[in-house]
Structure 1
Amino acid sequence: MFYPELFKSLEKVRWNLQDDVPWDQFDPDKITDEQLHTIKMNAITEWSALPATEMFLRDNRHDSDFCAFMSVWFYEEQKHALVLIEYLNRFAPQFVPTEEELHGVRFEFDPAPALETLMLHFCGEVRLTQWYRRAAEWHTEPVIKHIYSLLSHDEARHGNAYLKFMRRAIDRCGDEARLAFSKLGVLMANTKVAKALHPTNLHVSEAAFPNDTVQSRLPDPGWLERWLDEQISFDREWEQKVVNGILRNLSSLFGLPLQTAKDLSRYRKSLLERAQPGSNGADAMA
């Protein structure tokens, strides 16, 4: 089981809302309404860990170890929402999201294949790590800069935890897991289409379409693209950091060098070919 180990390792580095955020260093001259609005949108987006956790528990009923880990992931993700809300409560209460706005991002996600969902959320953690790093650089107010740095480190640790479960999935499911991970990896590592791809920006409920993404249910549905393009300037260089992180981890996972999305696409094609009836390469690339 991974849960006991992950609980202990994450517990050792867990930051405290009261003692590890330098609230007394707040500088009102270094924050703007524009920045406060982005903090509010990020707080509501982080709140969507609630329906994501409900989805994970439903679709992974067969895996008590992973579901137990969700108790840690859910706690830390909800704390992300809480620390951003606390910042607003202390320094700009007019921007605090309402309970109705928070509840608006709680809706039921359609069932999805567990392996693909695992990979999707791994990529999401890699992406959030870099988004929050860039947000920490963009902000000028000391306290929120520190908060975004804390969040970025948390997301990186979550990505490493997901990677452990992905490695176990390959041990248990072989090429089924490799195909699922490479399928999502090709999409997420394609710099032409992947810039804003994140679990909160993907359609997850056919019945609620087109309002079936977390971002579409925010008070400001167009916020994310503006935040990336016009505010934190998440440009090609930063996007490449995301792609490199995904490819580097998949290289380790699959045991072969993957430099580009094309390399990953070729690998996926080889998996599909050997999965055809009559193929003799059943586990040749494992």
Structure 2
Amino acid sequence: MLYPELFKQLEAVRWNMDSDIPWDKFDPARLSDEQAQTIKMNAITEWSALPATEMFLRDNREDSDFSAFMSVWFFEEQKHSLVLMEYLRRFRPDLVPTEAELHEVRFDFDPAPALETLMLHFCGEIRLNHWYRRAAEWHTEPVIKAIYETLSRDEARHGGAYLRYMKRAMAKFGDEARAAFAKVGVLMASARRTAQALHPTNLHVNTKLFPRDTIQSRLPDPEWLERWLDKQIQFDSVWESKVVERILHNMSLLMDRSFATVQELNRFRKEMAARIVPPSGDGLAGAPA
């Protein structure tokens, strides 16, 4: 089992909201209304770890090891939402999300292949790590800068934990796992070819609720993410390239094969797909409709 070891590793570096966040460094002159509004949107977005955890537990009922790890992942992700809300409670109480706004992002995700969903969220952790690093650079107020730096490190550690479960899945499922991981890897490393940000919170997950079946579409400001990325933190092609490089680097390590470009990974995907019998259900949780 991986859960006991991962629990110890994450427990050893867990930060304390009271003592590890420099609340006393707050500088009101360096927090704009525009910046504060983005903190509210991110606090609500992070709350969506709740429906994601419900999805993981439902779709991994046969995997008690991974399901137990969800207790750690869920705790830390909900803590992200909590620390952002605590920041607003202390310094911009008028912007603290309401319980109704938080509950709006809790809805059922359609069932999907567990291996593909695992890879989807692995890539999501890589992307969020880079988004939060860029957010920390964009913000000018010292406390929120420190918070985003803290969250970005958590997301990197979560990605590493998911990678451990991906390695385990390859040992157990072989080419089926390789094909699933390559398929989603190609999708998630191709953001420059899409009109939307490729992250689990911005992908469609419930056909009955379409088009209001993404986390972002259920926020008070559904358009905020694109504006945050393009106009505010300016997550440009240089930063997007860093995300793609990390996905390709980890896929290279995982598959013991070098992937310098998305095209090379796509050729590998086709190679793996030809070696397995296609599953009866080829859905992908979060695949764009």
| Interval containing the TM-score (normalised by the shorter chain) | over 0.9
Structure 2 residue matching 1:167: 3-state secondary structure? helix
Amino acid at match of 1:206: T
* 2: CA distance, partners of 1:151 / 1:241: 18
Alignment of 1:253 with 2:254, yes or no, is: yes
**Deviation for aligned residue 1:45:** 0.1
Work out the percentage of aligned pairs sharing the same amino acid: 70
Report the alpha carbon displacement of residue 258 of structure 1 after superposing the two structures with TM.
Answer: 0.5
Residue 191 of structure 1 deviates from its aligned partner by 4.0
Query: 1:235-274: per-residue Cα shift (whole Å, max 9, x none)?
Result: 0000011001100000000000001100101111112233
Shift of the alpha carbon at 1:193? 2.9
Structure 1 position 274 matched with structure 2 position 272 = no
Q: When the two structures are superposed, what TM-score results if normalisation uses the length of structure 1?
A: 0.95
- In structure 1, what residue type is equivalent to 2:68? A
AA partner of residue 236 (structure 2)? D
SS in 2 for 1:192: helix
Aligned position for 1:51: 51
Unaligned ranges ≥5, structure 1: 278-286
Whether 1:112 aligns to 2:112 is yes
The alignment yields a C-alpha RMSD, in angstroms, of 1.1
- Aligned: 1:183 with 2:157: no
**Poorly superposed stretches of 4+, deviation over 6 Å:** none
Structure 2 equivalent of residue 284 of structure 1 = none
1:89-238 → structure 2 map (5 Å cutoff): 89-193=89-193, 196-238=197-239
Rounded Cα–Cα distance in structure 2 between residues aligned with 1:236 and 1:215: 22
SS in 1 for 2:192: coil
After alignment, is 116-125 or 267-276 more displaced? 267-276
Corresponding residue number in structure 2 for 1:32: 32
User: How far 1:192 moved relative to its partner?
Assistant: 2.2
Instruction: Report the Cα distance in structure 2 between the residues aligned to 1:11 and 1:191, rounded to whole angstroms.
Output: 33
Q: Please give the alpha-carbon distance, in whole angstroms, between the structure 1 residues aligned to 2:220 and 2:274.
A: 46
Q: Which runs of 5+ in 2 are unaligned?
A: 279-289
Residues 207-235 of structure 1: per-residue CA shift (max 9 Å, x gap): 11110000000000000000000000000
Aligned pairs for 1:71-86 within 5 A: 71-86=71-86
The aligned length equals: 277
Name the counterpart of 2:60.
60
C-alpha contact (below 8 Å) 2:110/2:207 kept by paired residues:
yes
Q: CA deviation at 1:30?
A: 0.3
Higher relative contact order (CA 8 A, sep 6+): 2
Structure 2 letter corresponding to 1:89: R
Q: Give the Cα–Cα distance (whole angstroms) in 2 for the partners of residues 200 and 189 of structure 1.
A: 16
Aligned partners of 2:104 and 2:275: how far apart in 1? 45
- For residues 159 and 122 of structure 2, the distance between their equivalents in structure 1, rounded to whole angstroms, comes to 5
